[in-house]
C-alpha cells in the first residue's frame, strides 16, 4: 500500500472552508492525548480550556481584550502573506510602536497636556511600527536580503531596546526600581467601553481595521495588486505593478497596524511601558492570519479563538496545575495542522495498492 498526494483538477472550495475546522479538531485530539499523558482527565481539561472561559462575563471581556491586538496585527500580516511577502517580525513592530507612542506619554507625564495626547500617541505608534517594518523591506528591495530572517531578527533588537529604555532613561523614579515607566496619565490612556470593565476602545478600532481591509482586498485596485503579485508574479509585472513598491507598501501597512496594536496595548490594558508587554502577540498573529485563511473576517473569528486559548490556558494553569507553556504548544500544533490541511485544498490523498513489475499475464 502506498499513500500518494494527487493534484486535484480544481481547488476544492469545500476543503478551503473546512480546512481550519479539520485542523482545530485534529489539534483538540492531539491536546487530549497530551493531557492524558500528563495524567490529567482530557475531557475535563478541554472543558476548562475551551468552555469555561465562555461562561462568565469577565472571561468574555478578557477574550476580546486579547483578540484585539491579535486581529489587528494578523490583518496587516495577511496583506503581506497574500502577496507572498513574509513579514515574521510583527512582534518587533508591535514593540517599536509601543515604544514610539509611549515616548509622548512619558514626556507629557504629569503635565495634564490635554485630549490630543492619546490620538498623537496612536499616530506615533503606527508610524514607529511602519518605519521599523520598512527596515527589512528596504533590505530586501535594495540588497536582496531575505525579509524572513531580517524581520525576525529585528524582533530581538526591539525587545532589548525597550528593555534598555524602561530600565534606564524612562524608568519611573518612584517605581521602587522596578523596570517600568510611570503609570500613564488618563489623557494618555485608551478609554474602556464598559464602566469598571477591561474592554477598551481598541476593540472598535480593530473592527474598523477589519472592515477597511475587507474593502481594500475586495474592491480596490491596491487589493487586486496585492492578490495578483501573490498569485502570479509574472502576470503582475505584465500588468504594470511594481513588486518592489508592493514589498515596501505591505511591510509599512502591516508594521503600522502592529505598531498601533502595540501602543493600544500599552496605553490600554497595561497602562505603562514595561518588559513583557506581549505574550507573543506578534507571533501568534501569524497563526491567526493563516487560521483565518488570510481573510479579514476569517481573521476576526480566528483571533477570538486564539484569544480563547490564552484565557483557557490561564484558567487551566490555576485550576488544573498544567504549565502555561502548554498554550504555546497548543498554538504551534494548531499552525502545523492548518498548514498541513491546506495542502488538501489542492491535493487529495489516495491510497494506492502497490503494483509490482509489469505483470506479463497471458491474455
Partner 1 sequence: MLDASSQAGSSRSGPLLSAISISKRYGDFLANDCIDLDLFSSEIHALLGENGAGKSTLVKVMYGLIQPSGGELRWMRQKVVLAGPSEARLLGIAMVFQHFSLFENLTVAENVALGLPPTESFAAISARLEETARVYGLPLEPKREVWRLSVGERQRIEIVRALMQNPKLLILDEPTAVLTPQEADQLFLVLDRLKSEGRALLYISHKLEEVKRLCDTATILRGGKKVATCDPRQETAASLARMMVGADIGEVKAMSGRSVSVPRLVIYKLSLEPDDPHGTHLEEVSLEVRGGEIVGIAGVSGNGQGELFSALSGERLSPAEGAIVIDGQAAGLLGVTERRRMGAAFVPEERLGHGTAPRMKLSENALLTGHAASGMVKKGFIDKPATLTAVDRTTKSFDVRKAKRDPEAVSLSGGNLQKFIVGREILREPGVLVVSQPTWGVDAGAAATIRQALIDLAARGTAVLVVSQDLDELAEIADRIAVMFHGRLSEPLDAAEATRERLGLLMGGANPAKPAGPQEAKHAVGA
By CB under 8 A, name the binding residues for partner 1. Answer: 9-11, 219-222, 224, 227-228, 231-232, 234-240, 242, 355-363
- In whole angstroms, the minimum distance from the beta carbon of 240 to partner 1 comes to 4
H helix or E strand, kind and range, residue 347: strand 347-352
CA end-to-end span of the chain: 26
Of 174 and 234, which has the nearer Cβ to partner 1? Answer: 234
Q: Nearest distance from residue 352's CB to partner 1, in Å?
A: 9
Tell which residue, 296, 291, 319, has the closest CA to residue 306. Answer: 291
Cβ atoms of 19 and 348 within 8 Å: the answer is no
Shortest spacing between CB 217 and partner 1, in angstroms: 11
Q: Which is nearer to partner 1, 153 or 221 (CB)?
A: 221
In 3-state terms, what secondary structure has residue 354? coil
Q: How far is CA 55 from the centre of its chain?
A: 25
- Closest approach, Cβ 152 to partner 1, in A, equals 29
* Among 273, 297, 304, 49, residue whose Cα is nearest residue 169: 273
Closer residue to partner 1 in complex, CB, 316/345? 345
Residue 186 or 218: which CB sits closer to partner 1?
Answer: 218
Pairing of strands 2-7, 347-352: antiparallel
Check residue 239 and report its DSSP letter: T
Residue 100 and residue 158: Cα distance in Å, rounded?
Answer: 11
Q: How far is the CB of 268 from partner 1 (least distance, A)?
A: 32
Residue 6 Cβ vs partner 1, minimum distance, rounded to whole Å: 11
Is 65 or 82 the residue whose CB approaches partner 1 more closely? 82
User: Any long-range contacts for 33-38 (C-beta under 8 Å, 24+ apart)?
Assistant: 34/326, 34/329, 35/322, 38/322
Compare residues 173 and 358 and give the one whose CB is closer to partner 1: 358
Amino acid at each position: 500500500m502506498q499513500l500518494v498526494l494527487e493534484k486535484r483538477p480544481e481547488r476544492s472550495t469545500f476543503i478551503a472552508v473546512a480546512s481550519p475546522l479539520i485542523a482545530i479538531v485534529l489539534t483538540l485530539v492531539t491536546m487530549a492525548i497530551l493531557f492524558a499523558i500528563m495524567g490529567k482527565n482530557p475531557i475535563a481539561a478541554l472543558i476548562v480550556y475551551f468552555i469555561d472561559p465562555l461562561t462568565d462575563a469577565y472571561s468574555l471581556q478578557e477574550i476580546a481584550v486579547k483578540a484585539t491586538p491579535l486581529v489587528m496585527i494578523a490583518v496587516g500580516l495577511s496583506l503581506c502573506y497574500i502577496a507572498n511577502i513574509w513579514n515574521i517580525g510583527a512582534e518587533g513592530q508591535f514593540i517599536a510602536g509601543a515604544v514610539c507612542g509611549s515616548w509622548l506619554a512619558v514626556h507629557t507625564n504629569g503635565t495634564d497636556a490635554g485630549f490630543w495626547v492619546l490620538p498623537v500617541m496612536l499616530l506615533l505608534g503606527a508610524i514607529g511600527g511602519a518605519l521599523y517594518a520598512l527596515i527589512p523591506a528596504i533590505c530586501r528591495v535594495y540588497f536582496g536580503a531575505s525579509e524572513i530572517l531580517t524581520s525576525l531578527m529585528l524582533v530581538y533588537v526591539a525587545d532589548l531596546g525597550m528593555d534598555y529604555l524602561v530600565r534606564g532613561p524612562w524608568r519611573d523614579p518612584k517605581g521602587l526600581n522596578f523596570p517600568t515607566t510611570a503609570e500613564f496619565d488618563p489623557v494618555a490612556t485608551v478609554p474602556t467601553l464598559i464602566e469598571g470593565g477591561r474592554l477598551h476602545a481598541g476593540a472598535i478600532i480593530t473592527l474598523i481595521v477589519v472592515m477597511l481591509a475587507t474593502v481594500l482586498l475586495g474592491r480596490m485596485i491596491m487589493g487586486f495588486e496585492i492578490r495578483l503579485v501573490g498569485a502570479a508574479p509574472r502576470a503582475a509585472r505584465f500588468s504594470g505593478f511594481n513588486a518592489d513598491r508592493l514589498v515596501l507598501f505591505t511591510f509599512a501597512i502591516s508594521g503600522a497596524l502592529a505598531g498601533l496594536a502595540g501602543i493600544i496595548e500599552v496605553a490600554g490594558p497595561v497602562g505603562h511601558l514595561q518588559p513583557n508587554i506581549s505574550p507573543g502577540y506578534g507571533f501568534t498573529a501569524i497563526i491567526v492570519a493563516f487560521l483565518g485563511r488570510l481573510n479579514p473576517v476569517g481573521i476576526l473569528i480566528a483571533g477570538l479563538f486564539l484569544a480563547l486559548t490564552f484565557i483557557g490556558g490561564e484558567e487551566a494553569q490555576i485550576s488544573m496545575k498544567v504549565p502555561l507553556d502548554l498554550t504555546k504548544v497548543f498554538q504551534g500544533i494548531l499552525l502545523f495542522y492548518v498548514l498541513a490541511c491546506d495542502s488538501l485544498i489542492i491535493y487529495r490523498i489516495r491510497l494506492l495498492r502497490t503494483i509490482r513489475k509489469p505483470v506479463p499475464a497471458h491474455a
